[in-house]
Amino acid sequence: MLTFFKKYRIFFIVFFIISAIILSLFYNALKPAKTLKVYSPSDVNPELVDTTIQYVARNHKIADFAFVNQNGDTITQNDYKGKIYVADFFFTTCPTICPIMTDNMEWLQDKIKDNPKVMLLSHSVTPDIDSVPVLKAYAEKKGVIDAKWNLVTGNKKDIYYIARKSYLAVKTTTSSELYDMVHTENFILVDQEGRIRGFYNGTNLDEDVPGEKNVKQLLEDINWLCEHEK
């Protein structure tokens, strides 16, 4: 028996290699192809969605907008036309989750800074505090690259409605103050057509947590969009 195996050992080695290759090909062929869901208001926690659109189940896109960035420039949807971008909501005086979110957005900026297809967009939820000079100082402190990442302020009502009617990303408050909102930790991935393709925990860089996606997974999905949806 030993002599038999010695005689045909090359055959067996080649056989096992070919078998492994064939099994690998079958596995890859049968493995479901990756896709990214297109989100609508009906897919999202109703607390984050304006009541007028909570049951909308298709054709949801980010509405037109006009805000002012850290350099005093007006930023509109045209600046993001045909781009993949990540949006979030924050405020410069936030002592809790915002610093972590901003650090993770800065990490993301470093990864996409040489990719002309991708941009970032952060909206202040306290525009009465976050003036252009305040945003500029914050941007400089956080290493914001102006061509990649806009920190924007504007009319509070407009920010409220873009958050709840477009990005599906903030909760209302019990405050009597009109258009007050509580932002979430979400980073929102928007594709080239202005559709939401994912929500990610902006405070979680790389930890695996059941039921949520982290920022490194966001980067993977950005790269997938760049490669597969042009």
Q: Is residue 172 part of a domain?
A: yes
Query: What six digits make up the tokens of 221?
Result: 């999905």
Cβ atoms of residues 105 and 122 within 8 Å: yes
Q: Is residue 139 part of a domain?
A: yes
Tell me: do 12 and 74 sit in the same domain: no
pLDDT given for residue 54 in this prediction: 94
DSSP 4: H
pLDDT given for residue 171 in this prediction: 86
pLDDT given for residue 8 in this prediction: 52
pLDDT given for residue 229 in this prediction: 78
Tell me: do 27 and 98 sit in the same domain: no
Q: Is residue 13 part of a domain?
A: yes
Based on the structure, what is the number of domains in the chain?
A: 2
pLDDT given for residue 20 in this prediction: 56
Query: What six digits make up the tokens of 61?
Result: 């896109």
Distance, in Å, from the CA atom of 75 to the CA atom of 82, rounded to the nearest integer, reads 15
Give me the residues paired with residue 211 across strands.
none
Tell me: do 96 and 183 sit in the same domain: yes
Place of tokens 């984050």: 48
Sign of CA dihedral 150, 102, 154, 60: positive
Q: Is residue 36 part of a domain?
A: no
Q: Which residues carry a binding-site annotation for Cu cation?
A: 94, 98, 183
CATH of the domain at 182: 3.40.30.10
Q: Is residue 109 part of a domain?
A: yes
Tell me: do 118 and 217 sit in the same domain: yes
Sign of CA dihedral 97, 72, 107, 214: positive
Tell me: do 95 and 199 sit in the same domain: yes
Tell me: do 54 and 87 sit in the same domain: yes
What is the phi/psi pair of residue 23, to 5°?
-65, -40
pLDDT given for residue 27 in this prediction: 47
Tell me: do 16 and 102 sit in the same domain: no
pLDDT given for residue 28 in this prediction: 47
The model carries a pTM of 0.84
Q: Is residue 116 part of a domain?
A: yes
Supply the range of the domain harboring residue 190: 41-228
Q: Which residues carry a binding-site annotation?
A: 94, 98, 183
Tell me: do 22 and 46 sit in the same domain: no
Tell me: do 19 and 70 sit in the same domain: no
Instruction: List b or e across 33-64, with b for residues whose CB sees 16 or more CB atoms inside 10 angstroms.
Output: eeebebbbbeebeeebbbeeeeeeeeebebee
3-state SS of 172-223 is ECCCCCCCCEEECCEEEEECCCCCEEEEEECCCCCCCCCCCCCHHHHHHHHH
**What contacts 185, CB < 8 A, 6 or more positions away?**
97, 101, 201, 202, 203
pLDDT given for residue 172 in this prediction: 81
How far is C-alpha 38 from the chain's CA centre? 13
pLDDT along the chain (230 residues), means of 10: 55 59 53 82 95 95 98 99 98 94 98 98 96 98 98 96 95 67 93 98 97 98 91
Tell me: do 99 and 164 sit in the same domain: yes
Tell me: do 7 and 94 sit in the same domain: no
Tell me: do 202 and 138 sit in the same domain: yes
